[in-house]
Structure 1
Amino acid sequence: MKQIFLGILFILPLLSVGQQWNKVPNTFLDQPYVAMIEEMNSMLFISGGFDSINTLEVNHVSSFDGVGWTILNNGLGSSAECSAFFNEKKYFGGGFAWVDGSSANRKLATWDGANWEGFGNQPVALTIKDLQEYNGSLYGVGSFTELFGVQDLNGIFRHDGTNFFEVDGGLLGAPVSVKKLVVYDSLLLVGGYFLQAGNIPVSNIAAWDGIQWSSYAGGVNYIINAMFVDTVNEYLYISGDFTQVGGTLPVNYFARWDGENWLDVGGGGDCLAVDFELYQNQLYAAGCFTEIGGDSITGIARFNGLDWDSLGIAYNPGANIMEVFQEELYVGGSYTQIGDTLAPGLAKWLYPLDSACKEMYAGIGIHPDTIYTGQLPYTFRSGSYGNSSLQWEFSDGYTNVNGHCAYDFNDTPGTYDIMLIAQCGVEADTVYSQVIIVSNASIEEKEPFDLNVYPNPFDGKISIEAEQLVGKEVQVSIYDLQGKRDYQKQLKFSSDTLQLALDLPKGSYQLELISEGKKVVQQIVVE
């Protein structure tokens, strides 16, 4: 028996006290385009299409301390597209044709707080799209095959602070477009448009462990443009021009990986996000969408764990990069104003933590009611939202503070209680559940049954096809992504197809069928 009791969720009306857009003080860009924002060493660095900020000639790059802007010598020849802090230096990558006024250096440069340093005159056509530190090296991706005198890079390089290296053959499959890097689950994940990593077939996402390539999570069916890691709940968020993830789940430009399953993200949007950011423990997305989660929201939105929210104003499209700095969310792009506020290319959003925390809730991700000995340990996954910390508690006193928690119950049959506490500021929420451990010796092993669910996504009516279940009693359950059971019935397959009429809100759910000790779970989406 599954028992999940969700704490009360208080959701404030949009634009409650303290929520507001503001112009960045002492800031006027001559060209309203910001492509890169990065907080490094308590300074905010930006780069874009601008030549000046106010009266300062900055040449496409500058730093901000919260009060005023600083000239970084002669700057860059054009916008940087990415940055990273590595070996006590700030690295900038992009398509720029000169560094500090000299065309002897292009595409990649470092700033040490006083001086620029480049890495030579690289090919004009290439662009570095993203940089990421991983296992003591700096990795970069983009549109290149040769760079820094190293050939056959194929979209990715490794840098140890002195030299550059290829990464086991790189990314292949014409045309190749490598866009994003993140570190997740101790792996370096690479996203973009490619079909091979080294000699391994992949589908637009691949994993590098420092030694070899592997495919990842079944891939996606088209380009990935953005990737982001929620380090508290241990989710991977992606967005791009894809319509299917994991080979089976239909989505609309957005998806979330919880370490085990792909999930829909609030119904997705009508266009992709180019950046994600976590601000006050809540997920924000910026991109080209004008509709997201079924609502008319343009350019930037906040995800409350179930649905997407507007930030309360009619918003000019063009947001493409976000960064948290001094407890505010800075948003850069190609817009000219936000609401009635003139803010060419750069603005900031304030949402006080005490207000944000009131939207926090605890949730345990989908897990089986019954686990058999020999299948342990089992990994429980958080379905919480808006929290800054977590604590799992089990019947024997064991605790764990990770988003994903592996536990083996000593491989002993019995009924066990699980508690998850989510914390945000002074707010806390608790969710409880139960799991039954059954001896494998008492269960006759059977092959899992095949399942075909259609249409998926669906609106009201759905068909479940399973030839092996004809004439059998089946428990059919549907859970939302926080583990709340929205439907459960004991039904009989009189033919090979069972039809259900369901009145469920739009969103993603887990369909669970149990028959004769065997269970199959499949993702379904209500549109």
Structure 2
Amino acid sequence: MKKLILTVIIAFTTSLAAAQNWAAVGEVSNGVYTLYTDTVDNVLYIGGSFTYFNGDTVFGIVKYDGSNFYRMGCGLEWDCSFIPGGGNIVVKPNSIVRYNNEIYIAGNFTKSNNVTLNGLARWDGSDWQPCGTGLKNEYGGNSGGSSLKVLNNELYVCGIGLDSCAGVPANGIAKYNGVSWSAVHNIPRFKPNQSNYITDVEVYNGDIYVCGNFYDSIGGDIWRIARWNGSQWVGVDGGMKGGIGGVNKMVVYKGLLYAAGIFGSAGSNPHAKGIATWDGTKWENVGGGIYYPWPMSMQIFDMKVYKDKLYIVGWFSQAGGIPTKQLAVWDGVNWCSFDTTNTSFDNVILALDFYQDTLYIGGGFWSVDGDTNITYIAKYIGAGPDTCGNTTGINENKVQTEGLRVYPNPASNSITIEWSEELQVQSLAVFDYLGREVLKEQVSNNSGSTQLDVSALPQGMYFLHLQTEKDSQTAKFIKQ
């Protein structure tokens, strides 16, 4: 365990240099909601409720080439002449994507340069153009576009209160084949007389999944996520329960469908806090999920796969028991803090993307580790965005579990430890993520099993260390 403790000490003594890992990306007047890396033109698109970027009037959308920022026409809600008072605009670009060699944007906005857009627009190289009548709801108001995604060579748009897209009935989601818009498998209203609140769409094992904040009010199995099974829309093992939001994002990573947002359980798994995986049969928790002292506030807003790791951002203070504020990395086995300093953001992170091999984040934060020069958008300039920081020394202290079993995991009151007779266990100890010993027990008779009371331990990740006659064994468990 000396190596584990040393790793922790080294990691935490560098915390004073945290802000040196992050740099400002221009001066922006308000929050950033979406980031999109366009690999065709090698630029980063930045969308938010800002009016100014680096002193230039841009209104909600700007293009960045790594050195310079470029205004895109009249932006959103602007006519290129009159600038309203108040400094910023009531607009929320939620998603940007390239499809058929053109840039599309969806969100909460109505026009550009006096052209009506209604939440969905296409960039023609000089101006924003409408996509038919845009996004509408049946009561005549405008709908908000929540996400855009290209799947199987078709462009999908999801929305809040979205009843029609370009004049076509939608019920929360529509798709475009490059010629015309259409409904997606005649998706119904899951709750009668209420528009579907759909935030994302994904294809997994050939099936289409949609997620958001909706449910079947007539005793159905559809809760915040639904699947098209080839003939009808069905539930996904009971869906997500708990929390006040729903499922914000989905992504396929290492053969599993990941769903993230604000929820406390998935299907029959009560430990899926804010994020869960679906293998086509059942839901599993992801290393204990995320944690925040006020559970109704914790959630994941965005996630991306990059260089075989899954990055998440949102509002949380831990991931799998690891302290990591608003940003975390999952490698398929362990949660890790993105850098060894556990950088502190003073407000929510809403979006992330990788541009020119560098991590960019956007949100509502006003500072990074006390540096007020870094506001709303930042880029990582530390050791490398593809390196998962081992705040707890997980990467250094390889978890050895041969001949060792710990259950239940996660645990609430006690854990049972079983080991093979040849291990000849002499003592066992439990360490927290800081390397501090919190429990210890001598093993008088090598019976091959024992039980530990962990009810007094705070929630989080712990490391069980068994000292044997010849060496040692280590296992990880979660206290919930």
- Give the TM-score taking structure 2 as reference length: 0.68
- 1:134 matched to 2:162: no
2:346 to 316, 319, 328: 316
What is residue 471 of structure 2 aligned with on the other side? none
Taking the aligned partners of 2:246 and 2:401, their CA distance within structure 1 comes to 36
Partner letter of residue 278 of structure 1? V
Aligned pair 1:330/2:360, yes or no? yes
* Deviation, structure 1 residue 296: 4.7
User: 1:60-459, aligned counterparts within 5 Å?
Assistant: 60-77=60-77, 78-99=91-112, 101-122=113-134, 123=136, 124-148=141-165, 150=167, 152-167=169-184, 168-173=186-191, 174=194, 176-196=196-216, 201-208=221-228, 212-222=232-242, 223-231=245-253, 233-268=254-289, 269-270=291-292, 271-294=298-321, 296-303=323-330, 305-309=333-337, 311=339, 312=341, 313-341=343-371, 342-352=373-383, 356=387, 457-459=411-413
Structure 1: 4+ residue segments shifted above 6 A: 15-19, 453-456, 502-505
Residue identity matched to 1:309: S
Mapping of 1:14-93 within 5 angstroms?
Answer: 14=11, 20-25=20-25, 27-31=26-30, 33-40=31-38, 41=40, 42-77=42-77, 78-93=91-106
Please state how far the C-alpha of 1:357 moved relative to its aligned partner.
Answer: 7.4
> Equivalent residue of 2:179, what SS?
coil
Evaluate the alpha carbon distance shift between residue 20 and residue 351 of structure 1 in structure 2; reply closer, same or farther with a 3 A threshold: same
5+ residue gaps, structure 1, are 1-7, 360-384, 387-428, 434-452, 463-488, 492-498, 509-523
Alpha-carbon deviations, 1:441-489, whole Å to 9, x = none?
xxxxxxxxxxxx9997523258xxxxxxxxxxxxxxxxxxxxxxxxxx9
Give CA-to-partner distance per residue, 1:199-249, whole Å, 9 cap, x none.
984221122367753433542225433334354x22333222321112343
Q: Cα–Cα, structure 1 residues 329 and 170, in superposed 2: closer, same or farther, change >3 Å? A: farther
CA RMSD in angstroms comes to 4.2
Distance 2:287 2:301 in 1: 17
AA of the residue aligned to 1:135: N
| Residues 309 and 432 (structure 1), Cα distance of their counterparts in 2 relative to 1, 3 Å cut | closer
Distance in structure 1 (CA, Å) of the matches to 2:409 and 2:43:
51
Show CA shifts across 1:132-158 (max 9, x none): 122232111112343245354211112
Contact 2:249–2:261, Cα closer than 8 Å, also in 1: no
Over 3 Å counting, the alpha-carbon distance change for 1:526 and 1:139 in structure 2 is: same
Contact persistence 2:148–2:155 (CA under 8 A) = yes
The alignment partner of 1:337 has SS state of: coil
The one-letter amino acid of 2:68's match is: G
Letter in 2 for 1:37: L
Measured after TM superposition, the shift of residue 301 of structure 1 is 2.7
Question: Matched residues in 1 for 2:386 and 2:71: separation?
Answer: 36
AA aligned to 2:374 is A
Structure-2 change in CA distance of 1:112 and 1:175 (3 Å): closer
Equivalent AA in structure 2 for residue 328 of structure 1:
T
Distance 2:378 2:158 in 1: 28
Deviations 1:274-324 (A, max 9, x none): 112334533332112234434554322334532442642332122110001
Indicate conservation of the 8 Å contact 1:182/1:188, yes or no. yes
CA deviation string 1:364-404 (max 9, x = no partner): xxxxxxxxxxxxxxxxxxxxx99xxxxxxxxxxxxxxxxxx
Give the whole-Å Cα distance in 2 for the aligned partners of 1:267 and 1:432.
Answer: 19
Deviation of 1:159 after TM superposition, in Å, equals 1.5
Task: State the SS of the aligned residue for 1:287.
Answer: strand
CA–CA distance in structure 2, aligned partners of residues 163 and 30 of structure 1: 37
Quick one: which amino acid aligns to residue 82 of structure 1?
S
- CA deviation profile, 1:247-287 (whole Å, cap 9, x unmatched): 34333222233455433223221211111233453333211
- The total of aligned residue pairs comes to 386
CA distance in 2, matches of 1:36, 1:298: 19
| Alpha-carbon distance in structure 1 between the residues aligned to 2:7 and 2:180 | 52
3-state secondary structure, aligned to 1:30: coil
CA distance in 2, matches of 1:246, 1:126: 30
Q: Secondary structure, in 3 states, of the residue corresponding to 1:75?
A: coil
Q: Is the 2:268–2:283 Cα contact (8 Å) retained in structure 1?
A: no
Partner of 1:425: none
Does the CA contact (< 8 Å) of 2:288 and 2:410 recur in 1? no
Contact 2:143 2:159 in 1 (8 A): yes
User: In 1, distance between residues paired with 2:306 and 2:18?
Assistant: 15
Q: Secondary structure at the match of 2:116?
A: coil
1: distance between equivalents of 2:359 and 2:151?
Answer: 26
| Residues 143 and 65 (structure 1), Cα distance of their counterparts in 2 relative to 1, 3 Å cut | same
CA distance 1:246–1:20, shift in 2 (3 Å): farther
Gaps of 5+ in 2: 78-90, 293-297, 417-446, 463-476
CA distance 1:221–1:432, change in 2 (3 Å): closer
Q: Percent identity?
A: 21
The amino acid of 1:39's aligned partner reads T
Note if contact 2:240-2:266 (Cα within 8 Å) is conserved in structure 1: yes
1:163 shift after superposition: 1.9
